């Protein structure tokens, strides 16, 4: 019996895109939070951390409302960009990015905070801009933190269910990711199919994490 | 010529401290900032470097204004011609020694980097990472790195305090050599009298945020030693009783000596106390 690989491919594609986007927005955000002394910082930190405690269905519900063409934001998107985010892969990406944000930001923020302040100061006294300092001094010395953020965001997105269910709509080939597919197959009593998806997910995520920890160990020893 | 006036309100463990100083040095001079911990010495260095902002003041180096609170001028550290040697070295762990030293220089400065590495005895180590170096070697790298931009002002923040006596001595010689070779205006923060004496031409004594004394090392430190009596400070390591007398083991600088003491001298004394050891007849034997 041949199984449909689509949900698995969709899952990994979603996780990869989400992680890539999170790296691009997470690093500047983590940098800002780590070093700013602005007064509203606790508010920003709270917003970033909310997805950790918020029930996924709450976030899913609000995203559904936001994306819906019957409400302001959704209407604007539809009218100006001809984009419908509800029940679309793009909508899933946006939902995943918001939902996995703290998993990227927190490790990187810790990474920055664990570096001695004198490193940045030394770089400044040697004439380098803060951007140069970020890429030549800070990030290279935070490889473990960057790795942790990447892995956690990836894994968290793979495991996402509640948000995806609310705004994805279970459309095969578009928004039917593996976690939804498993649920679907169990509901239809197709345990063999459910087991297939579950085992593949388990094996692949296990090997991704294993590779990552082995690499991390090599870095720690070399550094 | 370096002129500065600095004022800053500091908050430290003992409460508030008002830091206020005004002074100037000639180009090429080696000046030491001497004083107890918490007097504000590191803060002065950081304000000159642009790492900390004074509440009020003015810093003019070689005709260029680096900071002027009344005219809202505040050059960031990148635009000031400084070399800063941090107490914890602050070497970049991901870069080799060579790349650390070359960090502040431009593309075509390989010969200059080679010269710096040679001068500080680091040529053989240039491809190693900072994590593999000893404290003394790291400090040399920090020094070479700070010199790379040929700064107008070299700032040294207790650079040798984490090293043992022998290494300190060697590195002090390196600092003196570098100063003679490049003639950089240097400001050294130190609480080691010997070091200050050996290296600086001028000393500013900083206490409670104010400059209390300014002069040559001889003027500042040799005032007290006018009497013809040898008076040393030592720390009590052990007190043993031998029949009718006590034997005191004392730590004098880096040496341990045993002296005999009577009941009166011992009275109230405990291990760890700082005591005064003096000899009345002043003709000790001095040899190399």
Cβ proximity of B220 and B205 under 8 Å: yes
The whole-angstrom separation of Cα A195 and Cα A180 is: 13
d(CA B235, CA B270): 10
Test B92 with A126 for CB contact under 8 angstroms: no
Q: For B240-251, what is each residue's pLDDT tens digit? A: 888 888 888 888
Residue of B nearest to A219 (CA): B94
Flag if B86 and A124 touch (Cβ within 8 Å): no
Give mean pLDDT, residues B76-101.
93
Across residues A29-36, what is the average pLDDT? 93
Q: Which residues lie closer than 8 Å to B7 by C-beta, 6 or more apart?
A: B18, B19, B20, B54, B55, B56, B57
Q: What is the ipTM of this complex?
A: 0.79
pLDDT digits (tens, 9 = 90+) for B30-73: 999 998 877 788 999 999 999 999 999 999 998 899 999 999 99
The mean per-residue pLDDT over the stretch B192-198 comes to 85
- Give the rounded distance of the alpha carbon of A1 from its chain centre: 34
Share of residues in chain B with pLDDT > 90 (%): 35
pLDDT of residue B82: 93
Interface test with A, best of B45, B50, B92 (most A CBs within 10 A): B92
At B281 the pLDDT is 63
Q: Which pLDDT score is estimated for A2?
A: 65
Identify all chain B residues contacting A122, using CB atoms and an 8 Å cutoff.
Answer: 84, 86, 90-92, 145
- What per-residue confidence (pLDDT) applies to A135? 94
Q: How far is B278 from chain A (nearest CA, A)?
A: 44
> How far is CA A212 from each of CA A150, A155, A208, A218, B14, rounded to the nearest angstrom?
10, 12, 6, 10, 48
| % of chain B exceeding 70 in pLDDT | 95
Query: Across the interface, which of B51, B76, B103 has its CB nearest the CB of A126?
Result: B103
Instruction: Quote the CA–CA distance of A167 and A175 in Å, as a whole number.
Output: 9
Contact between chains at B51 and A124 (C-beta distance less than 8 A): yes
Does residue B148 belong to the interface with chain A, where contact is any CB pair within 8 Å? yes
Q: Which residue, chain included where needed, has tokens 């995943």? A: A96
* Mean pLDDT computed over A129-144: 93
Residues 6 or more apart from A132 whose CB is under 8 A from it? A123
pLDDT in tens, B22-33: 999 899 999 999
Ordered DSSP codes for chain A = -PPP-HHHHHHHHHHHHHHHHHHHHHHHHHHHHHH---TTHHHHHHHHHHHHHS-HHHHHHHHHHHH-TTSHHHHHIIIII----TTSHHHHHHHHHHHHHHHHHHHHHHHHHTS-HHHHHHHHHTT--HHHHIIIIIGGGGHHHHHHHHHHHHHHHHT--HHHHHHH---TTTT--HHHHHHHHHHTT-HHHHHHHHHHHHHHHHHHHHHHHHHHHHHHHH-
Q: Is B270 exposed, middle or buried (0-12, 13-18, 19+ CB in 10 A)?
A: exposed
Alpha carbon distances (Å) from B218 to A119, B25, B171, B203, B215:
37, 18, 22, 9, 8
> pLDDT tens across A108-128, in order?
999 999 999 999 999 999 999
Q: What is the pLDDT of residue A32?
A: 94
Mean pLDDT value across residues A208-219: 80
What is the pLDDT confidence band of residue B224, given thresholds at 50, 70 and 90?
low
Question: For B101-142, what is each residue's pLDDT tens digit?
Answer: 999 887 778 899 999 999 888 999 999 999 999 988 999 999
Instruction: Give phi and psi for B195, each to the nearest 5.
Output: -65, -45
Interface test with A, best of B85, B104, B131, B157 (most A CBs within 10 A): B104
C-alpha–C-alpha distance, residues B251 and B275, integer Å:
10
Q: Is A46 on the interface with B (CB under 8 A)?
A: no
pLDDT tier at A88, thresholds 50, 70, 90? confident
CB-based contact (8 Å) between B110 and chain A? no
Q: Which of A121, A129, A136 sits opposite B90 (nearest CB)?
A: A121
Per-residue confidence (pLDDT) for residue A118, from 0 to 100: 93
Residue B47: what pLDDT?
A: 93
Whether residue B229 contacts residue B282, with contact meaning beta carbons closer than 8 Å, is answered with yes
CB contact under 8 A, B51 and A121: yes
Buried b (16+ CB within 10 A) or exposed e, B37-66: ebbbbbbbbbbbbbbbebeebbbbbeeeeb
Which chain A positions have a beta carbon within 8 Å of B82's beta carbon? 125
Instruction: Check whether B229 has a pLDDT greater than 70.
Output: no
Q: How far apart are the C-alpha atoms of B204 and B214, rounded to whole Å? A: 5
| DSSP assignment letter at B263 | H
Model confidence at B225: pLDDT above 70: no
Of A118, A126, A128, the CB nearest to B88: A118
The answer on pLDDT for A221 being more than 80 is no
- What mean pLDDT is predicted for residues B269-285? 77
Assess B63–A contact: CB distance below 8 Å, yes or no: no
Name the closest residue on chain A to residue B52, using Cα atoms: A121
- Tracing tokens 């305090």 back to the chain, one arrives at B161
pLDDT of residue B282: 64
Which member of B84, B88, B94 has the closest CB to residue A125?
B84
CA dist., res. B15 & res. B38, Å (int)? 11
Q: How far apart are CA A17 and CA B194, in angstroms?
A: 62
Surface of A (14-43) touching B: CB under 8 A: none
Closest chain A residue to the Cα of B89, Cα to Cα = A118
The per-residue pLDDT for range A90-102, each reduced to its tens digit, is 888 999 999 999 9
Q: Does B94 touch chain A (CB under 8 A)?
A: yes
Q: Does A119 touch chain B (CB under 8 A)?
A: yes
Query: Does the model's pTM come out above 0.90?
Result: no
pLDDT score of A223 more than 50:
no
Size of interface A-B (CB pairs under 8 A): 59
Q: Which of B43, B75, B76, B78 to mutate to test the interface with A (most CBs of A within 10 A)?
A: B78
| Euclidean distance between CA atoms B154 and B189, whole angstroms | 11
The token pair that represents B159 in the structure block: 């650079």
Mean of the per-residue pLDDT values for chain A?
A: 87
Q: Specify the higher pLDDT residue, A83 or A193.
A: A193
Nearest CA in chain B to A118: B90
In angstroms, the CA B203 to CA B245 distance is 44
What the block records as the tokens of A31 is 């940098």
Spatial distance between the Cα atoms of B272 and B261, rounded to a whole number of angstroms: 16
Mean pLDDT of chain B: 87
């Amino acid at each position: 019996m041949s199984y449909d690989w689509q949900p698995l491919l969709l899952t990994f594609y979603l996780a990869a895109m989400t992680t890539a986007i999170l790296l691009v927005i997470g690093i500047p955000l983590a940098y800002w939070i780590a070093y700013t002394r602005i007064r509203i910082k606790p508010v920003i930190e709270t917003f970033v951390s909310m997805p950790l405690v918020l029930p996924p269905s709450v976030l899913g519900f609000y995203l559904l409302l936001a994306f819906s063409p019957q409400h302001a934001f959704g209407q604007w998107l539809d009218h100006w960009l001809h984009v419908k985010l509800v029940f679309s892969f793009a909508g899933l990406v946006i939902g995943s990015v918001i939902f996995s944000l703290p998993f990227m930001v927190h490790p990187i923020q810790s990474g920055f905070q664990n570096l001695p302040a004198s490193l940045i100061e030394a770089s400044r006294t040697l004439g380098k801009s803060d951007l140069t300092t970020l890429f030549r001094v800070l990030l290279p010395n935070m490889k473990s933190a960057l790795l942790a953020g990447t892995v956690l965001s990836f894994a968290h997105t793979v495991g996402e269910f509640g948000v995806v269910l609310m705004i994805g709509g279970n459309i095969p080939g578009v928004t039917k990711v593996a976690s939804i597919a498993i649920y679907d197959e169990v509901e239809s009593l197709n345990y063999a199919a459910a087991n297939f998806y579950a085992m593949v997910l388990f094996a692949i995520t296990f090997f991704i994490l294993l590779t990552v920890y082995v690499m991390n160990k090599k870095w720690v020893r070399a550094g | 010529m370096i002129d500065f006036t600095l004022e800053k309100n500091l908050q430290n463990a003992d409460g508030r401290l008002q830091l206020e100083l005004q002074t100037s040095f000639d180009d090429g001079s080696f000046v030491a900032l001497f004083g107890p911990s918490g007097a504000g010495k590191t803060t002065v260095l950081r304000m000159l470097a642009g790492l900390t902002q004074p509440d009020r003041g003015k810093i003019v180096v070689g005709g260029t204004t680096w900071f002027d609170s009344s005219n809202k001028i505040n050059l960031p550290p990148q635009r000031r011609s400084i070399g800063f040697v941090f107490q914890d070295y602050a070497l970049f762990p991901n870069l080799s020694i060579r790349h650390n030293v070359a960090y502040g220089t431009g593309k075509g400065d390989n010969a200059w980097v080679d010269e710096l590495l040679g001068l500080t005895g680091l040529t053989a180590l240039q491809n190693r990472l900072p994590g593999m170096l000893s404290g003394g070697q790291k400090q040399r790298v920090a020094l070479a790195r700070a010199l790379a931009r040929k700064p107008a002002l070299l700032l040294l923040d207790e650079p040798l305090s984490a090293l043992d006596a022998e290494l300190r001595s060697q590195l002090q010689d390196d600092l003196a050599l570098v100063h003679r070779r490049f003639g950089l205006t240097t400001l050294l923060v130190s609480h080691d009298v010997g070091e200050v004496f050996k290296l600086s031409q001028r000393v500013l004594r900083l206490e409670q945020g104010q400059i209390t004394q300014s002069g040559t090392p001889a003027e500042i430190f040799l005032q007290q030693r006018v009497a013809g009596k040898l008076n040393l400070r030592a720390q009590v390591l052990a007190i043993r009783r031998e029949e009718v007398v006590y034997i005191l083991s004392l730590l004098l600088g880096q040496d341990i000596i045993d002296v005999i003491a009577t009941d009166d001298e011992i009275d109230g004394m405990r291990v760890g106390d700082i005591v005064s050891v003096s000899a009345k007849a002043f003709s000790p034997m001095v040899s190399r």
